[in-house]
Amino acid sequence: MRRLITAVAAAAAAFVAPAFAQQKIDFILNWVPGGDHAPYYYGKKLGWYQKEGIDLNLEVGKGSALAIQRVGAGANPVGLADMAGVLVAKGKGADSVAVLNVYANSPQGMYWLKSSGIRGIKDFPGKKIGNPAGDGARAVWPALAKANGIDPKSVTWVNIDPNAKLAALKARTIDITTSFYNIHHVFKRELGDDMGFLAWRDVGINPYGNSIIVNRDYLEKNRALVDRFVKVTQRAFAECVKQPNPCVRALVDANGALDYDNELQNWHLVEVLMSDKTSQTVALGWHDDKRMQDDYALVRDYIGVDKPFDVKTVYTNEFLDKSIKMKVVKGE
């Protein structure tokens, strides 16, 4: 009997054991953990990465620039970063490949007080726009202005700290500010019915936002591992869209200082950024060839590319499971 019990226990252990030997992946995020990072924590909590031989270590980030630098140099094999920054870095020699798109829509938005008399972008000329010096939105502003028939030089840019945007807007020391859509709920809470807003994606400029990038040398040496990592991550994002509550709970449980309700609102905004025609009909996480060509031209013309390159060398869709698609979400 004892032998039988031992045999059954051994068989059970074999059944739940990971199918692959564990290999560590140090994944650097673009920022501190928040609602948009919930799927990684959810997949990790449920053991999905472990089952595929992945010991996933999630590292706190300090902006896309750092993630791009570390992945491009090979200090981290995998990271999360804004695609425009990835394209700029590629022109400077950093060699990384985007393997899964998270923000199918640009997260860039602009906010103002309705009581200021601003109704939309046509009212921006003569106004002061406050955001940090060197901010990506400022660099691409000429393209947005041109798309809407506005002289790019008709506005005044004011340098302010990222954490001072709302205060400056309320104090009316600036007329307009920029921010990512995934904290839209914070602006709405603070400004209420007086909040004016436009999403860049709705007024002619919609470059890809955050994507998961992999160091090219690491990718070539670990293709099977990267394939499993991408498919698990793609599945985790899809499941979080279906069941956001346990997904966000996994994030909060792993990062005790976070507020569940705030991060749940953050996640619902991220769902809007994830969902477009391509993610709904081709695959969640897909980089469209035409859009990537347009993004390259946008970066080249308004930000600058030191050394030209074929944009197809900066992304691949080969690891994506085409059976996993994004659903249409409320708010689109």
118-146 average pLDDT score: 92
Q: Which of 40-49, 229-238, 257-266, 322-331 has the lowest mean pLDDT?
A: 322-331
CB atoms within 10 A of CB 71: 29
Residue 266 reports pLDDT greater than 60: yes
Residue 134: predicted pLDDT: 76
Residue 331 reports pLDDT greater than 60: no
Per-residue pLDDT of 286-296, as tens digits, reads 999 999 999 99
Residue 12: predicted pLDDT: 41
Give the span between the Cα atoms of 74 and 65, in whole angstroms: 14
What domains sit in the chain, N to C, each tagged with a CATH number?
Answer: 21-105+208-314 (3.40.190.10), 108-202 (3.40.190.10)
Which residue has 């309700």 as its token pair?
Answer: 261
Instruction: Give yes or no for a contact between 314 and 289, defined as CB atoms under 8 angstroms apart.
Output: no
Give the span between the Cα atoms of 52 and 24, in whole angstroms: 11
Instruction: Give yes or no for a contact between 235 and 285, defined as CB atoms under 8 angstroms apart.
Output: no
Token reading at 98: 């985007």
Residue 83 reports pLDDT greater than 70: yes
The residues, ordered by sequence, that sit 6+ positions from 331 with a Cβ below 8 Å of its Cβ are 268, 269, 271, 272
Q: At what angle do helices 289-302 and 83-91 cross, to 10 degrees?
A: 60
The residues, ordered by sequence, that sit 6+ positions from 198 with a Cβ below 8 Å of its Cβ are 109, 110, 120, 121
Helix (H, G, I), strand (E, B) or coil at 197: strand
Residue 159 reports pLDDT greater than 60: yes
Instruction: Give yes or no for a contact between 44 and 75, defined as CB atoms under 8 angstroms apart.
Output: no
With the C-alpha atoms ordered 301, 305, 308, 311, is the resulting torsion angle positive or negative? Answer: negative
Residue 109 reports pLDDT greater than 90: yes
Residue 8 reports pLDDT greater than 50: no
Residue 330: predicted pLDDT: 64
Whole-number Cα distances in Å, 138 to 134, 143, 146, 238: 7, 10, 14, 33
Under the banding of pLDDT at 50, 70 and 90, the label for residue 133 is confident
Residue 329: predicted pLDDT: 72
Per-residue pLDDT of 303-323, as tens digits, reads 999 999 999 999 999 999 999
The percentage of the chain sitting over the pLDDT mark of 70, rounded to a whole number, equals: 93
pTM above 0.85, yes or no: yes
Per-residue pLDDT of 45-76, as tens digits, reads 999 999 999 999 999 998 898 999 999 999 99
Per-residue pLDDT of 200-210, as tens digits, reads 999 999 999 99
Closest to 213 in 3D by CA, of 108, 327, 65: 65
Instruction: Give yes or no for a contact between 140 and 146, defined as CB atoms under 8 angstroms apart.
Output: no
The residues, ordered by sequence, that sit 6+ positions from 231 with a Cβ below 8 Å of its Cβ are 52, 319, 320, 321
The residues, ordered by sequence, that sit 6+ positions from 309 with a Cβ below 8 Å of its Cβ are 90, 91
Radius of gyration of the CA atoms of the chain, in A: 21
Whole-number Cα distances in Å, 31 to 65, 110, 163, 166, 328: 10, 21, 14, 20, 27
